[in-house]
Amino acid sequence: MNKVWPFVVLGLSTANVTLADAGDPQEGGAWLMKIAHASRHLNYSGTFVYRHGNKSETSSIVHYVNSGGGEFEKMEVLDGPAREVVRNNDQLTCYLPKSKTVIIEQRDVRQLPVLLPERMPDILENYVVRKTGTDRVAGYDCNVITIEPKDHLRYGRSFCAEVHSGLPLRSRTINDEKQAVESFAFTQLSIGGKFNRDMVKSKYASKSHNWHIDRSALNVSEKTEDTGWVLNNQPPGFKKVTEVKRSIAGRPGTVSHIVFSDGLSAISVFIESMPKERPAQTMVHQGAIHIYTRTYAGHMVTVLGEAPAATVMQIANSLELRTHAPLPNNGSHPLK
Amino acid sequence: MDKISALMDGELDEDEVSQLFSRLKPQGEMRESWDTFHLIGDALRGDCCLSPHLSQRIAERLATEPTVLAPRRSAPKRVNTYVLSAAASLSAVALVVWVAFSIHPLGPPPQEMAKAQIPAVRPVPATDQIASISDLSARGNMNEYLLAHQGFSPSTAIQGVVPYIRSVSDSQPSR
């Protein structure tokens, strides 16, 4: 019995510390995990609006988990040209009827990002996560979970999570000036109810047999590879989470793909051989995503991620080959 | 150990109490990180479990309990009451500890968590090296890259397929 007493006393002091804090970080973190859990495990269908800049797009979405734990999703864009994204566990298929194209992205389930408690320390190192209030979205009461960055290298987030299930009804990406650069918000939603597999099948599934098919897949080697590329000025808080050689739909040859993440945002680096037409140095953006293209040592480098332009650029500009051995003439493969 | 149980039973004098608390305090802060991560882990596995308000509720209940830090001579009946409520608190806290350890037996030691610091911010290259940042829709097609990237983004873990709208976006100005 005596051995347990220290835990009791320590537990009491923990409770007191928690009570003294204005926003409860423990509660904020727990809500974030609840949001991720709800997104993966609940059946729901609804309509959401994606806004970025002065643009908006409305889509319908159905998420269905079968009794065996298989996860199926279908998103259909309702404005402008018809487009559908269907997810079948770890395979993602985009149907683009306008150009009669199907893009298939096969993902390695072991490399999929999952919000594990092991990643929470990363998030809490770079952000302050708090429950800051309540709101109402698509007819549901929700808790506002605010994620504030601790520096200017990353964007903030704000989620409104349905009070009972934790399903994210609205998410915003917030810049330095406290303005939303991008948002997703449900306008109509039903949680639970009767679902079946047909609801998450594409209406183009049979029509698309003779369409152009672009496949994108990770290399057969399942483990992280050493592509030979390193950063000499890695932004603080970002860690390398994966490094692979892969194919990318519509791109010739092998592409080195390195991903850096601070727990909440990810930045991808794609390095490939120089195309015939040398690309210009450009920075483009769409909502929270910045995309920077440059050339380096006979390669084309594309860096993109949900982070401010300066962070994306810092990664792109600090990229270098680790060794100084001569580059292959065609530049198609980075050094090993 | 005996001192702690004496503290719980309110049998220590003021000097001893403050001495004991100053020894426990740093460990208490450590425990906070420890408990936070494990409560989060529990919430994810999600399956059950401890409410995010648990610590708050425990704290609130404790706040309404009699203060026992002041030295007391004898109050046998009240001691009995207190022992019961202490036992109730004990079972709650023991549950937290047990759940935490059973979920994450090989987790990093609390010292490491306590060491987590905000990294120093290094100078960031100015964006004005680029004349302007144009909207993606005005420039070439990046959808395949976006698609390949999205699979690795934690936003996919948090929101499922919703962020994939970025890779097939063909947005029109808001009406």
Sort out which chain B residues have CB atoms less than 8 A from A266's CB and list them.
149, 152-155
Q: Where are the domains of chain B?
A: 2-115, 127-168
Comparing A2-6, A191-195, A236-240, the range with the smallest average pLDDT is: A2-6
Query: Which of B19 and A296 is assigned the larger pLDDT?
Result: A296
- B interface mutation test: which of A18, A26, A99, A215 has the most B CBs within 10 A? A26
pTM for the full predicted model = 0.67
Q: Do A289 and B166 touch (CB under 8 A)?
A: yes
Find the CB nearest A291 among B118, B142, B169.
Answer: B142
Find the CB nearest A56 among B28, B161, B174.
Answer: B174
Sort out which chain B residues have CB atoms less than 8 A from A56's CB and list them.
171-172, 174
Sort out which chain A residues have CB atoms less than 8 A from B2's CB and list them.
2
E-strand ranges in chain A read 44-52, 55-65, 71-77, 83-88, 91-96, 101-106, 127-137, 140-149, 156-162, 168-174, 180-191, 212-218, 229-231, 239-247, 255-261, 266-273, 282-286, 289-296, 299-305, 319-321
CA dist., res. A7 & res. B28, Å (int): 10
CA dist., res. A95 & res. B112, Å (int): 47
CB B141 within 8 Å of CB B65: no
Distance from CA of A86 to the nearest CA of B (A): 8
Q: B110-123 pLDDT, tens per residue? A: 444 444 444 444 44
CA dist., res. A238 & res. A245, Å (int): 20
Query: Which of A123 and A20 is assigned the larger pLDDT?
Result: A123
ipTM > 0.85?
Answer: no
* pLDDT of residue B70 exceeding 90: no
Sort out which chain A residues have CB atoms less than 8 A from B89's CB and list them.
8, 11-12
Query: Which of A40 and A304 is assigned the larger pLDDT?
Result: A304
Query: Which of A286 and B103 is assigned the larger pLDDT?
Result: A286
* pLDDT of residue A142 exceeding 80: yes
Residue A44: per-residue pLDDT: 95
> What residue ranges define each of the domains in chain A, with the CATH number in brackets?
19-208 (2.50.20.10), 219-321 (3.30.200.100)
Q: Kind of pairing, strands A101-106 and A212-218?
A: parallel
CB A329 within 8 Å of CB A312: no
Q: Do B144 and A125 touch (CB under 8 A)?
A: no
Q: Do A184 and B165 touch (CB under 8 A)?
A: yes
Find the CB nearest A121 among B116, B148, B174.
Answer: B116
Residue A246: per-residue pLDDT: 84
Query: Which of A38 and B73 is assigned the larger pLDDT?
Result: A38
